[in-house]
Structure 1
Amino acid sequence: MSAEERRESVVRAAVAEFARSGYNGTSTETIAKRVGVSQPYLFRLFPGKQAIFLAASERCLADTRQVFTKAAEGLEGEELSQALARAYQRLIVDDPDKLLMQMQMYAAVAAAEAAGDHEFGERLRLGWAAMWDELYLLLGAEQEEATSFLAYGMLINVLASMGFPAGHRVWSGFHLATRSS
């Protein structure tokens, strides 16, 4: 395997490990073992744990943006909104590590900010802002619609990560999330 292929496998493993155990609960040793490399080799690919976490987080955001872009191809209006909502629902069901990684990312940035480390979250804020910008453009440059879509998405993240089953009453009213403004 080339260094780039190893780097890619580290990012995939890091998404899974950080999704399950968070930034502080995941060791670089665990990630190295999952990939089948030594820790020293891991640190030849990435300068440290924070760099691995940032790469995993950025991958998660980029993959989510890609899901939205692909779902939006050739669509507009209500059909577009519905396709984006379905695509995000599939992403959560098909790849729950992406959902959990998002939640861990928010928690890690909040903890770093509370500790006075404002640089840690800057790259992740840029990645999230890029997702907002992309949705804004996909939804016809409608700020209210992009904000509403992401607000419902965040609520879905919280409910899904807390394990509320699909038929639970907390999911009622979600038909409003797919109505076009």
Structure 2
Amino acid sequence: MAEKRPRVGIEQRRRQILEAALKEFSHKGLHGGSTVTIAKDVEISHPNLFRVFPTKRELFIAVLHEAFATVERRMLRAGEAAEERPLETMAEAWGELMEQRELMLILLQGYAASEDPEIRDVMHRWTQETFERVEAIPKVDTDMAHDFVAAGMLYMVAASMDLPARAADDAWVDRFLASGA
């Protein structure tokens, strides 16, 4: 007799799916990522996956929104709350986020999937909101916000290539990463 698994609530199942989808999509992108693999990782049927997220695109966008929420909680709010050195506070938080390589990869995958108009709109809104929130911080002007966001994107690319882990072996990596901070 087959062993019955305990039922899982929809919110817990949604969380499990999003975690598995982050892993899959961050490494393989929207088009290369497999919903079959995601369903297997969560130990649910493929049709049940689509009961929670009706389309692959909706699941991909939900993963992006989770990534945006993480950046908002960990970096933007910290900078907005910092009375002194808000950009340095956000840079430190971004440095910690860069250690979550899959987070960096999914953001890049979002930009890469921007040929899809809906995903392009999602990425555009998030990029705009991030820039405008940095720019709105007291004592941060447009040029400072531009430089901060541009450097953050450069470091996102560096993190996706796992350059911080290679700094000890490659002198240019150490110089590259140290020059913009």
Q: Which of the five TM-score ranges fits, normalised by the shorter chain?
A: 0.7 to 0.9
* Distance in structure 1 (CA, Å) of the matches to 2:86 and 2:53: 39
Q: Is the 8 A contact 1:61 1:128 kept in 2?
A: no
Residue identity in the other structure for 1:91? L
Match of 1:123 in 2: 122
Normalising by structure 1, we get a TM-score of 0.83
Q: Which residue of 1 aligns with 2:105?
A: 100
Match of 2:73 among 36, 53, 66: 66
* Inter-partner Cα distance in structure 2 for 1:35 and 1:136: 40
Which residue is 1:137 aligned to? 136
Match of 2:4 in 1: none
Deviations 1:116-171 (A, max 9, x none): x4233112221222222222223545211111101001111122222332353245
Give the structure 2 partner of residue 23 of structure 1: 30
2:87 equivalent in structure 1: 81
In the alignment, the residues of structure 2 paired with residue 139 and residue 105 of structure 1 have an alpha-carbon distance, to the nearest angstrom, of 30
Distance 2:42 2:63 in 1: 14
Alpha-carbon distance between aligned partners in 2 of 1:26 and 1:39, rounded to the nearest angstrom: 14
Match of 1:51 in 2: 58
Mapped contact 1:68–1:135 kept (Cα < 8 A): no
Corresponding residue for residue 163 of structure 1: 162
The residue that corresponds to 2:5 in the other structure is none
Q: Is 1:91 paired with 2:130?
A: no
Query: Are 2:104 and 2:157, in contact at CA under 8 Å, matched by a contact in 1?
Result: no
CA RMSD in angstroms, aligned pairs only: 2.1
Structure 1 residues 39 and 173: CA distance shift in structure 2, 3 A? closer
Moved more, 60-69 or 132-141: 132-141
- The separation in 1 between residues aligned to 2:123 and 2:160, in whole angstroms, is 20
Higher radius of gyration, 1 or 2? 2
Q: Is the CA contact 1:69–1:138 (under 8 Å) kept in the aligned structure 2? A: no
Structure 1 residues 27 and 38, CA, compared in 2 at 3 Å: closer, same or farther? Answer: same
Q: Does 2:149 match 1:150?
A: yes
Relative to 1, partners in 2 of residues 1:174 and 1:159: Cα closer, same or farther, differing over 3 Å? closer
Count, aligned residues? 170
Deviation at 1:51, TM superposition (A): 0.4
Q: Among all aligned residue pairs of Structure 1 and Structure 2, give the percentage whose two residues are the same amino acid.
A: 31
SS in structure 2 of the partner of residue 53 of structure 1: helix
1:83-113, CA deviations, whole angstroms, 9 ceiling, x for partnerless residues? 11111111111x211011111111111xx2x
Structure 2, unaligned runs of 5 or more = 1-7
Query: In the TM superposition, what is the alpha-carbon distance from 1:73 to its structure 2 partner?
Result: 5.8
Which residue in 2 is equivalent to 1:172? 175
SS of 1:47's partner is coil
